[in-house]
């Protein structure tokens, strides 16, 4: 082992002895843990939001609204007006081509 390698190994052991969780195998353990915990927290929030959305659709259905149509309207509202117009034009063209 060269002197440089020996010094690097000694420095690594010294850092690990001072703070064993800060750097494990070249990975910043605290940073990794923080990232994983943030993702887990956001996944829990997403799960809660999905439940809330499901409840709103159930409310809409019980009020007599067609949930499938509501979902389509939400999808349309996300699109740019030009894109919606193009799709409606194509839909009309295809309907006429099929005699509908």
* Strand segments (E) across 2-83: none
pLDDT of residue 16: 53
Global pTM reads 0.61
Domain count along the chain: 2
Q: Measured between alpha carbons, how far is 13 from 3 in angstroms, rounded to an integer?
A: 15
Contacts of 92 (CB under 8 A, 6+ apart): none
Which range of residues forms the domain containing residue 98? 66-100
* 45 in the same domain as 21: yes
pLDDT of residue 83: 96
* 91 in the same domain as 50: no
* 44 in the same domain as 86: no
Q: Are 22 and 30 in contact (CB under 8 A)?
A: yes
Average pLDDT over all residues of the chain: 87
- Taking only the tens place, the pLDDT of each residue in 51-70 is 999 999 999 999 999 999 99
């Amino acid at each position: 082992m060269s002197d440089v390698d020996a010094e690097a190994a000694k420095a690594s052991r010294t850092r690990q002895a001072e703070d064993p969780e800060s750097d494990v195998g070249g990975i910043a353990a605290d940073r990794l843990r923080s990232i994983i915990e943030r993702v887990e927290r956001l996944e829990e929030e997403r799960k809660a939001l999905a439940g809330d959305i499901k409840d709103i659709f159930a409310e809409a259905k019980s009020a007599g609204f067609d949930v499938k149509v509501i979902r389509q309207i939400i999808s349309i509202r996300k699109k740019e007006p030009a894109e919606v117009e193009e799709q409606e034009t194509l839909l009309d063209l295809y309907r006429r081509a099929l005699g509908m």
